[in-house]
Each structure stands twice: as structure tokens, then as C-alpha cells.
Amino acid sequence: MTSITTRRLFGVLAHVDAGKTTVSERLLVRTGKLRRAGEVHHGNTALDHDDVERKHGITITAAATTITWREHTLSLIDTPGHIDFAIEVERSLRVLDGAVIVLDASRGVEPQTESVWRAAERHRVPRIVFINKLDAPGADVQACLNDLRERLGARPVLLQKVEADCLVDLVEQRELRFDADGTMHVTACTTLPTAARDRLIEAVAEHDSVLMQTWASGEEVSVAQLKAALRRACLSRAIVPVVCGAALKNRGIQPLLDAVVDCLPSPEDRPLPHGLKPDPSAPLCGFVFKTEVDVHSGALAWTRIFQGTVYPGDALVLRPEGKTERVQKVTELHGAKSTEVESAGPGSIAVLVGLKSAHTGNTVTASSLKVELEGVSAADPVVEMALTTRTSEEQAKLGEALRKACFEDPSLRVRYDSETGETVLCGVGELHLSIWLEKLEQREGLKVKTGAPVVAYRDTVKGEATVEYRHVRQSGGPGQFAVITLRVRPLSRGSGFSFVDETSGGVIPAPLIAAVKEGVKGALMRGAREGVQLVDVEAVLLDGQTHAKDSSAVAFEIAGSLALQEAAVKAGLVRLEPMANAVVHVPEASLGAVLGELASRRGSVSAMTVEGTQAVVRASLPLAKTFGLVTSLRSRSEGRADTALSVAGYEVQQQ
């Protein structure tokens, strides 16, 4: 079994089209996992293995593989770069020890770069940056570094100097040249990069006291000392090491692999909750971060092993449900292919076959270990699409297919519209829904009729209101009695829901207060008008009355629900609409047409800059107005406008 200290578990993250999957493919070739790299534009990559992914030329689901480099075992997860599939990034970051962020050298930090960076910060994941596409027109390493500092608040440390014919390794003071097939040739520097290396040492020493002491004393800093300091500073997230290359041309891949080994953490470098340790002999604790349904094997549970070792035949407890199920097989993934293994230990990604009840967010443990790890949160849906079928048989088949889809993708939701009799599929974007409909047709042979996509509106309250609600029912037998006084007021945008108990003197027992809270939560989901969900509301329980015989949890839940709706109407309702941010790269000659298109869709331009021959427009607009936007902007710019969209929360709908 691989030593813990020589394991690396990292993800490759980027904005769409930054070359992330191309980078991953070259990592596989350079480490001997593949004989020949696939190409995204040819639809033959090892990691984008799904037919729908290959058709669209983008990564849709996370893919995993394991490679070796310098006697280290590297487990790699390639993640999607499109905002509609951000759940794949979120749940992967939940289990990663480190990350490689890929930037397009001509674009720098893009919208989804910001999103994945913030997510990595939230999970406290150490990162290195690979500036890709050095061969692209407009490539500018310094501009990328400035973006990292100014837009992400990062402290990038460049480990190389980019020359016309080589990369200069500032750590080991050597020149790196690459053949077309990626073979790297190392030569001594013709001129030592003393000044650039000194700047590197100074930047690292600011965040490492050991190196600072050596540097301040005037001693020469050795390669080993500098590498050790770089590692310590990266693990503490004080700096972000940066390397460069052009993956499509096979340049810079070996130095990237070296940076993964030298700078990113092993499992023992990352603190674990609940006193867990990456000890292969301890009771097992793993985390199910992704689930799939396989035609032949059934439910597959992608599991990060944090502690202990899992073997085929082990009986594991699924938490929080507490159900015990037996592992049939343990497999290791390489894209679409899986290999059965004898066991999996700390720091590894294993697919456990046989856990029929497992779902994303489950903790799996040995029966002797009672530990539950934090789950995975998915963004609320903002786009909906009605689905209809021709026959009742197809409807039943659709229901089962959608159940499997939601099992695999926690950011999908399904609801039934009782008024229209339609099944409604809800997701985080138009592309998200259309991709899943393609998958349903591919997997199940289901071709459903779809309505036009619509966005999910929300309501909130305009002001503060207090109501006393009396729920009193008597029908001869046991009655229902619940009287509560409830106040509602608006919260700041994005706050969600807050319930506060301000009763005193025990006028309402604790179990009945809990029932009121459940009633309030249910009413928020149902809304106070047109079935539109209520958000950003605080509900305060002020007072109440009970009856010795007729008060029950059911009565107080009903009272909480109806009181909330009455108070919300009294406070005044405000309709909220989801907003989107758009970043458009367009030739200056087409700028006027692009601005006109955005204005016609109620877009508000926040910034315009010029990068080379391209204008970059940043704007916000209602999400409902983004349907068809990409196509329209391309048609107005002779096909040259490049648009990136991201969801930006809710704002008050303008009439």
C-alpha cells in the first residue's frame, strides 16, 4: 500500500475553455498512464468519456484517475469548468487535499475562475496555478499575476521566468526546453537569473520565518531550503506557487507535476475533524461525495477514505441514517474504466459497489466508529422546464429516470405541477437542463416534449408585521387548539430564513415551538401567493396559548404555517428575480452591437476594458433575459463574441 507521505489527491479546476482537460490529458501521457493524449476537439479524451460530453466538447461530470510521478501516487479529479455544473466542483473540493487552477494566459482570471477559487478558499484547499496557453495571441503572464492579486486577493509566486525559447526554472536555476512530443531538455542557465530568483526568495521569505532567517543573515539559499519553504508557505495557504506552459503543445507539464509533488499536501498534512487520522489500521471513515447508477453494477458510491482501510465484504454504516450495508467490490477509476482492487486506504478515492442506499453526503464508517462528517450543499435551482410524455407508460418511465438523475446530481430537482399535470425539472441553468434531457434520451430512450425554460422567482416581505393566529377546531372528539403571535420582517438579500423564539415563562412548551418552526418553514416553501417560495424572512414567535387537552404538535404546525402566510401578506410582498453576470469578449468593431443587445435585455454594464484588440464588457441582467443571449451576441459580432454567464443571486424585479 502506498505510503501516506507520497500520496497527493488534487483536482484540476478552471473556467470553461481554459484548457483544463487538455492539461489533465497531458498529465496522463507524461506519467505513462496514456500512450497518446486525446483531444477535446476530436471527442476522444480519456477523462471526458461521456458521449454527451464529447458531443459538446465540455466537461460535464467530474472524472477521476490515478497516476505516478517521482515515486508518488497522484489521484486526480478533473472537474467541469461551466457554471451550470458547479455541483461537481463543490463536492469534489469537499474531499480534495489540493488543487491546480488553470488560467488561460490571454484571459487571466475569468468568472468561473473566481467561483472555483472562492469554493477552494471556503474548503481551505491549498492551490497552485498553471498559466496555460502561453502560445496563444495576447498571452500575458504578468497580467495573469495581477489578476490573481487584484481580483482574487491571492499572493502568487512565479517559479519560472518565461523566455521566447524556454522556461527558466528559478528554484533550481536551469533552462527547460520542450520537443513537440513533450520531451523536456534541461540545461544550465547561460546567464544566472539572480535578480528574479532573489525576488522569488524574498516573496516566500515574507511568509516563512525559517527562510527569512537564512535570507536575512546573508547566507546562500539552497534549492532544498527554498523548496521546503515553498511547501510550508503553500500548505499554510500564505502563497500560491505559479508555473507556466502550453498544454496543447506539450510544454510545461513536467514542472507542473513537480509542483504538485513538491507543493501540494499529502493526506497527513491536512487536519481532519473529529480527531480522525490517516491511519490505515484505524476504524474506517470515508465520505461519499458522488453517486452514479451503473447499468451492470447498480449504485456506485465515489468515496474518499479519510481513515482506515476498506475491503470487499466489509459491513459499513451509512450515516446519518444508521443503515448497515455490505461492500461487494472496491474499484479504482480511470475515466470511464474501473479496476477492481483488494483494498483502499487513507487519501484514496475508491468506488464502493453494493451500497444501495448510499447517497451524496453520506459518511461511511466501521460499526465501532460513530462519526458523521459535514454533508454537501447544492445551489437552489433557478431555471425550470415542464416535461410531458405521450403515454402513461412513458410517464412512469420518466419518473424513474428522473429519480436516478437526482440521485446522481443533487442540484437537480423534480416537482409535479398539480394544476397542469406536468412534471417540472428544475436546475441551475438552461444548459444544465438540456444536458440532462440529452442524457435521458441517450440512457433511457426517452424523448420528452419540453416547455420553454422559465426562471424560478422568489418573494420576500417588504416590511414588518405582527399577527395573532388562532387555530381552534372542535368536532366532538379531541380538538385542535393553537394560538400564536408571530412577527415577520425582511432580512438582507441571500440570508434565507431565520426563526427566533422570544416567548417567555414557558407559555409554549419546547416541542410545540419546534412544531411552529416546521410550520413556518413549510409555509415559506409554499409561499404566500402563486406558490412562489418566500425567502430572506425572519419569523419571531412572540407569544402563545395552549390547551391542556387539545394542543398538539399538528395544531401548532398548522398555526405556524397559516400565521406566516397571513403575516407575510400583511407586511407586503415583493417579487424577486434571479440575476446573471455576463462577461463578453468582443472585437471593438462589434462593441456597439453587443451593448445594444445587452440594453434590450435590461442589462446594466458595470465595466468595460480593452485587452489587446478585444473589448471586455461586464454586465448584469435578469436571468430570464439570458435565454438565447450567447447565440444573439455571436450573430451580432460575426461569430466572434465569447460570452460567459454566471448566476448572481436575486434582486427586486423591476417593472
* Mean pLDDT for back-to-back runs of 10 residues, the chain (655 residues): 88 92 92 77 67 79 93 94 88 96 94 91 97 94 96 96 92 93 90 87 93 89 95 97 96 97 97 94 96 87 97 96 96 87 95 95 96 90 88 87 93 83 87 90 86 90 96 82 96 92 94 96 92 94 93 95 96 94 89 92 92 85 90 84 84 86
**Whole-number pLDDT of residue 619:** 94
**Whole-number pLDDT of residue 647:** 84
Angular region, 52: left φ>0, alpha ψ -120 to 50, beta rest? alpha
**Whole-number pLDDT of residue 631:** 84
**Whole-number pLDDT of residue 562:** 96
Q: Of 169, 106, 174, 145, nearest to 240 (Cα)?
A: 145
H helices of 68-176, in order, are: 86-93, 111-122, 141-152
Q: How far is CA 337 from the centre of its chain?
A: 24
Report the 10 Å Cβ neighbour count for 98.
Answer: 23
The amino acid at residue 511 is: P
Report the 10 Å Cβ neighbour count for 270.
Answer: 18
- Check if the beta carbon of residue 641 is closer than 8 Å to that of residue 586: yes
Longest distance between any two alpha carbons in the chain, whole Å: 100
**Which residues on adjacent β-strands are paired with residue 101?**
13, 129
pTM of the shown model: 0.84
Report the 10 Å Cβ neighbour count for 592.
Answer: 11
pLDDT in tens, 538-586: 999 999 999 988 999 999 999 999 999 999 999 999 999 999 999 998 8
Q: Of 96, 608, 55, nearest to 349 (Cα)?
A: 96
**Whole-number pLDDT of residue 240:** 98
**Whole-number pLDDT of residue 247:** 95
**Whole-number pLDDT of residue 531:** 86
Mean pLDDT, the chain, rounded, equals: 91
**Whole-number pLDDT of residue 294:** 84
**Whole-number pLDDT of residue 59:** 82
* Strands 642-652 and 174-178, bridge-based pairing: unpaired
User: Which element (helix H / strand E) includes 63?
Assistant: strand 63-69
**Whole-number pLDDT of residue 111:** 85
Omega cis (within 30) before 241? no
**Whole-number pLDDT of residue 601:** 93
Q: How far is CA 532 from the centre of its chain?
A: 27
**Whole-number pLDDT of residue 193:** 83
Unique residue bearing C-alpha cell 453494493 = 354
CA quadruple 504, 505, 509, 512: dihedral positive or negative? negative
**Whole-number pLDDT of residue 1:** 54
pLDDT in tens, 497-513: 999 999 999 999 999 99
**Whole-number pLDDT of residue 476:** 66
**Whole-number pLDDT of residue 369:** 96
**Whole-number pLDDT of residue 613:** 72
